[in-house]
Amino acid sequence: MTTINDVAKLAGVSKAAISRYLSGTLKPKKETIKRIEEAIAETNYTPNRMAASIRTKTSNTIAIVIPSAKNIAFAEMTEAINDELAPYGYSMVTYTTNEKLEQEKLASNKIRENRIDGAIFITEPKGNKDMSHIDLLEESGIKTLLINRFFEPNKYSNISIDCYNGGKEVVKYLIETNHKKIGLILGWENQDQSELYKKAYKEQLLEMGLNIDDNLIEYCNFEETKTRNIVEDLIQRGADSIFAMSDRTAIIALDVLEEKNIDVPNKISVVGYGNTQFSKLVKMTSLDGKGELIGKLAAQMLLKKLRGVDEDEFKLLSTSIVTRNTTKKI
Amino acid sequence: MTTINDVAKLAGVSKAAISRYLSGTLKPKKETIKRIEEAIAETNYTPNRMAASIRTKTSNTIAIVIPSAKNIAFAEMTEAINDELAPYGYSMVTYTTNEKLEQEKLASNKIRENRIDGAIFITEPKGNKDMSHIDLLEESGIKTLLINRFFEPNKYSNISIDCYNGGKEVVKYLIETNHKKIGLILGWENQDQSELYKKAYKEQLLEMGLNIDDNLIEYCNFEETKTRNIVEDLIQRGADSIFAMSDRTAIIALDVLEEKNIDVPNKISVVGYGNTQFSKLVKMTSLDGKGELIGKLAAQMLLKKLRGVDEDEFKLLSTSIVTRNTTKKI
DNA sequence: ATAATCTAGTTAACCGTTTAACTAATAAGT
DNA sequence: ACTTATTAGTTAAACGGTTAACTAGATTAT
């Protein structure tokens, strides 16, 4: 790779002239510009952004930390973030955690090592409240932003879906369409999101005068076989509807129901969460996860922080159910 | 952020000692180690990988260039690549192209700017054969690897699915299950993959004594509305089966068929391509795209190139149809 | 005519590492 | 006892840029 020195030599000016010309802090005369441009073209010169970074202390790179890149919900957010940031020249590096705290910490280390400007963490590693690595990033001057990790205001910048009220809406909808035994399939036990959905579910049930059957509440850990067993159990226990905490889980539920020849939505209604491509393709009712909106807002918020506007923000996005062919008034 | 100088000062040694201790080229005595370790811990020192990079000329980062991150087929490959490379300490940066050559070139520029060690390009921008940016990367010492871009040996390192023989197998399977009017939904016109499938389709038809109806061959450009229209046309024209060049397209086809109350697979069989999560979840027959295998192999091949083993390799992976509930002998 | 301002550059220090080459002190070999 | 190796470091240059401070020459103002 050619360096700025090669270009300078070829153009017959100092390397400072090249650097300043490229950054717009020097206006060379026409003839010099011509020589510089020719030299750049001839050598295929591209500035070494890393060398620049060590002086300017900005890498023009942001990181996203997600449980899994092939999970459609995260993929949709990721793409939205990238689409929003790319026009500003940011590159995006992805670290996956498999929802493990340990891996999230490794990612944080990489982010520090690479002096990445800002990082977006999506969801929390299962059931863990250790924030020390995030704190360290902020102390190191790396801007952080959390998505679907906290559901009430706190010291971190955060954007989340209001799954408490969203969950209540789903339950309300199901009750209003005459369902009485609503199966609830949660993700991980002790994870904020699961517990919020559970709370919403129970409270809405009570508010509408139904009583709670704990046998209808299960944690699937986002595992397929576990989910299948749960769905079978729920059928056994007489569930007339199922609300699952992810579209993927809901689609697995649909599959089990189809295998058992149980008519959806006439016999059992199914609601997912995410409103991802998945739910659209299979025409499934789903609580909107607003992945693309969240990604877009997250990118904008991070951009703001990167520019130094540093009031920590907390956003809770209201959501609503998108009804399709897997739910029906009975 | 603390630097190596801070640590050196605190530990009372030269910065070279810190650097060499951390890289294992210096074995300090116990007592010194203790002082260094304490200084590192106290200052939360993490080496600045960018500063190191400018000296060592390796960034420990690889890039993947994909049409879209939220396309499930690419997401699966991406994750497989990352899983394979992460243990070696590589960070992965993603650039999306929307299948536009212009954007692919922008990505190439970023890759050069950031002195990224190696890049994997997945598929080709629609219908374009300009490889100058890839050539430039290789000339710049950046290792490149192409996926599903070339289907016969050439000067680039490349891994592809043998879609010619795969396509023939699908057509053969459909004919053997007594289908006579096979609709073929391709992607972009003039894109190698599309044309290969078309060739496979026509040749297999002729080999098995059926004649070709050009009205059954359409390009959907991977657009939903266009796909829906095509499917309706194919139904009109009496197709008894549909082979689509992507799972997503095939699922849209399934949806149209369902809307029209046409029984799949009894009335019309549908085959997708990819064998992605999508096809598994909706139990759709699909020609295997082997995304995860490709990702894994790609990562390994790139790793090899990064280590200097630089015979250009060309791999064509054989594939086969995975039958599920959307195809049937009639 | 002289001072003040502008233009188009240059010089040199700096960013945070790595690494080749050197050194001083200690240990080992004969 | 004297050379030779080994150990545990240090020094200084290098990597490829950026940037503050300077300068020489041309223009403008008074």
What residue ranges in B148-202 does DSSP mark as E strands?
Answer: 158-161, 182-186
Question: Does the distance separating the beta carbons of B61 and A93 come in below 8 Å?
Answer: yes
pLDDT digits over B46-78, tens only? Answer: 999 999 999 999 999 999 999 999 999 999 999
What's B249-314 look like in SS3? HHHHHHHHHHHCCCCCCCCCEEEEEECCHHHHHCCCEEEECCHHHHHHHHHHHHHHHHCCCCCCCE
Q: Do B277 and A72 touch (CB under 8 A)?
A: yes
The predicted-structure confidence for A15-73, as pLDDT tens digits, reads as follows: 999 999 999 999 999 999 999 999 999 999 999 999 999 999 999 999 999 999 999 99
- Residue B311: pLDDT band (50, 70, 90) is confident
Strands B91-96 and B217-219: unpaired
User: Could you report the per-residue pLDDT of A166-190, keeping only the tens digit for each?
Assistant: 999 999 999 999 999 999 999 999 9
**Residue B225, Cβ density class (10 Å: 0-12 exposed, 13-18 middle, ≥19 buried):** exposed
Contact B78, B66 (CB under 8 A): yes
A72-113 pLDDT, tens digit per residue, is: 999 999 999 999 999 999 999 999 999 999 999 999 999 999
Q: Which residues pair with A147 in a beta bridge?
A: A122, A159
Helix (H) or strand (E) holding B122: strand B118-122
Q: What is the pLDDT of residues B112-155, one digit of tens each?
A: 999 999 999 999 998 778 999 999 999 999 999 999 999 999 99
Q: Do A96 and B78 touch (CB under 8 A)?
A: no
Paired tokens of A249: 């889980």
3-class secondary structure, B241: strand
Quick check: B142 and B119 in contact, CB under 8 A? yes
Q: Helices B72-85 and B291-306, interaxial angle, to 10°?
A: 40
pLDDT at A239: 98
Q: How far apart are CA B233 and CA B226, in angstroms?
A: 11
- Percent of chain B scored above 90 by pLDDT? 95
- The pLDDT tens digits for A270-293 are 999 999 998 998 899 999 999 999
Q: Reply yes or no on whether the pLDDT at B16 is more than 80.
A: yes
Report pLDDT digits (tens) over A209-247: 999 999 999 999 999 999 999 999 999 999 999 999 999
Amino acid at B78: T
Which residues of chain B does A69 touch, with a Cβ-Cβ cutoff of 8 Å?
69, 75, 78-79, 82
Query: 3-class SS at B119?
Result: strand
CA–CA gap between residue A325 and residue A263 (Å, rounded): 11
Query: Encoding tokens for residue B189?
Result: 């016109």
Which of the four pLDDT bands, split at 50, 70 and 90, describes residue B299?
A: very high
The answer to whether the beta carbon of residue A1 comes closer than 7 angstroms to any atom of strand D is yes
> Chain A, 2-61: which CBs lie within 7 Å of strand D?
3-5, 15-16, 19-20, 22-23, 25, 45, 47-48, 51-52, 54-56
Burial of A102 (0-12, 13-18, 19+ CB in 10 A): exposed
Q: Is B37 helix (H, G, I), strand (E, B) or coil?
A: helix
> What's the rounded Cα separation, in Å, for the pair A116 and B117?
17
pLDDT at A267: 97
Place of tokens 């993700």: A187
Q: How far is CA B200 from the centre of its chain?
A: 22
Of B82, B113, B248, the CB nearest to A46: B113
- Judged by CB atoms closer than 8 Å, whether chains meet at A48 and B54 is answered as yes
Check whether B312 has a pLDDT greater than 80: no
Q: What confidence score (pLDDT) does residue A129 get?
A: 85
**Lookup: tokens for B248:** 């997503």
Q: Is 90 exceeded by the pLDDT of residue B99?
A: yes
Query: B141 contacts in A (CB within 8 Å)?
Result: 1
Residue B147's nearest CA partner among B327, B291, B304, B321 is B291
Rounded to a whole number of angstroms, the distance from the CA of B48 to the nearest CA of chain A is 5
Q: Are strands B91-96 and A91-96 parallel, antiparallel or unpaired?
A: antiparallel
Give the residue nearest to nucleotide C14 (CA to C1'): A55
- The residue written with tokens 């992976």 in the block is B317
How many whole angstroms separate alpha carbon B207 and alpha carbon B202? Answer: 9
- CA nearest A110 in B: which residue? B91
How would you write chain A as a 3-class SS string?
CCCHHHHHHHHCCCHHHHHHHHHCCCCCCHHHHHHHHHHHHHHCCCCCHHHHHHHHCCCCEEEEEECCCCCHHHHHHHHHHHHHHHHHCCEEEEEECCCCHHHHHHHHHHHHHCCCCEEEEECCCCCCCCCHHHHHHHHCCCEEEEECCCCCCCCCCEEEECHHHHHHHHHHHHHHCCCCCEEEEECCCCCHHHHHHHHHHHHHHHHCCCCCCHHHEEECCCCHHHHHHHHHHHHHCCCCEEEECCHHHHHHHHHHHHHCCCCCCCCCEEEEEECCHHHHHCCCEEEECCHHHHHHHHHHHHHHHHCCCCCCCEEEECCCEECCCCCCCC
Residue B249 pLDDT: 96
Nearest to B95 by CA among B74, B132, B125, B67: B67
Shortest alpha-carbon distance between residue B130 and chain A (Å): 17
Residue pLDDT, tens place only, B180-195 = 999 999 999 999 999 9
Instruction: State the Cα–Cα distance between residues A60 and A90, nearest whole angstrom.
Output: 5
Q: Is the pTM of this model over 0.75?
A: yes
Is the CB of residue A237 less than 8 Å from the CB of residue A229? Answer: no
